[in-house]
Amino acid sequence: MRPLSPAGQQALNDVAQRHGFSFDAVATMLDAVVNGNGTMAQFSHPEFSGSGQWMAGGMTMVSDMFNNHLKGRVDSLCSELSALWSQPSGLYAAAPPASVGGSGVFGGPALFAPPAPDWWGPDLRWPNSTGSQNGTRYAHFAQACRLAIEVNGRVTVYDTLDHQIGGFSQQQSGSGSMCFNSQYGVVDVGSLPVVSVDGFAPAHAMSPAPAPTQNWAVQNPPLASSSEADVFATLERLADLARKGVLTDAEYQAKKAELLSRL
């Protein structure tokens, strides 16, 4: 957790008392909101029923997917933390003066020195969301259309093409494989083009290859299936995501109806 100023600690104490969460839970959520640039959060804490995600505008998912009371409390907490972070009020302790000029990054000017490159490497800067589970961690860079995933110390960077990513989940296989939700449905990360592995372009990328068309995902929608086996396999994956809370019950039922209509 980034060091808070005395005023920041008091502010979080006040927020924790108002919303009925512990200081540790609120501080964890603040980090998640900051990592999401104040508009989204990928979080994991026992007081929030484990892992979940929040997006400004009313989209909140928790592992206890039918606990609407908890969803409302989380949404209210995240909204207040987002507003608190956006104010240049000295929420965080000031960092020592940096050797280069410029303003700070979080919560107003001059609060932090520019950080050293993180595990995803120097070519990517500020992620829109980050998360980790079972030895696998990810960082999503929406503006750059990049997704970095580290498994067993190896960092792979993928091109997310035109996917508008809304959430991530880890598959049950234990291999570290991940999938995500986009406007095209549930997509396996392994289907994305690989940009680099540990900072180096993959061997097959050394020779020129045809660039993907702009509507690649429209022409090849991840959920499109020409066989009943593929449809049923996708249904099983959607059910698993619903059990984990990545999909709401309404989202699951809508996608299920869409898939069954293709049989």
Based on the fold, state whether residues 178 and 232 are members of the same structural domain.
no
Determine which of 44-53, 87-96, 176-185, 253-262 has the lowest per-residue pLDDT on average: 87-96
pLDDT band at 90 (very low <50, low <70, confident <90, very high): low
Give yes or no for residue 233 having a pLDDT over 70: yes
pLDDT band at 20 (very low <50, low <70, confident <90, very high): very high
Give yes or no for residue 226 having a pLDDT over 80: no
Q: Total domain count for the chain?
A: 3
Per 3-state DSSP, the chain is made up of helix, strand and coil in percentages (nearest 5) of: 35, 20, 45
Give the tens place of pLDDT for each residue, 120-140: 887 786 787 887 777 788 888
Give a yes or no: residue 145 inside a domain: yes
Which pLDDT score is estimated for 218? 40
Non-local (6+) Cβ contacts of 120 within 8 A are 127, 139, 148, 150, 155, 157
Largest CA-CA distance found in the chain, in angstroms, rounded: 63
Based on the fold, state whether residues 10 and 72 are members of the same structural domain.
yes
Give the tens place of pLDDT for each residue, 138-195: 888 887 889 999 888 889 999 999 888 877 777 654 445 788 888 888 888 889 999 9
Give a yes or no: residue 147 inside a domain: yes
Give yes or no for residue 56 having a pLDDT over 90: no
Based on the fold, state whether residues 232 and 216 are members of the same structural domain.
no
24 phi, psi to nearest 5 deg:
-60, -40
Based on the fold, state whether residues 124 and 204 are members of the same structural domain.
yes
Mean pLDDT across 219-227: 46
Give a yes or no: residue 254 inside a domain: yes
Based on the fold, state whether residues 151 and 188 are members of the same structural domain.
yes
Q: Report the percent of the chain where pLDDT is more than 70.
A: 74
Based on the fold, state whether residues 15 and 59 are members of the same structural domain.
yes
178, β-bridge pairs: 170
Based on the fold, state whether residues 227 and 217 are members of the same structural domain.
no
Structural domain of 232: 223-263
Mean pLDDT across 10-26: 91
Based on the fold, state whether residues 137 and 211 are members of the same structural domain.
yes
Q: What is d(CA 138, CA 143) in angstroms, rounded to the nearest whole number?
A: 16
C-alpha neighbours within 13 Å on the C-beta side of residue 206: 5
Give yes or no for residue 103 having a pLDDT over 50: no
Q: Which of 39, 67, 86 corresponds to the end of one domain?
A: 86
| DSSP H stretches of helix in the chain | 6-19, 23-35, 68-86, 216-219, 228-244, 249-260
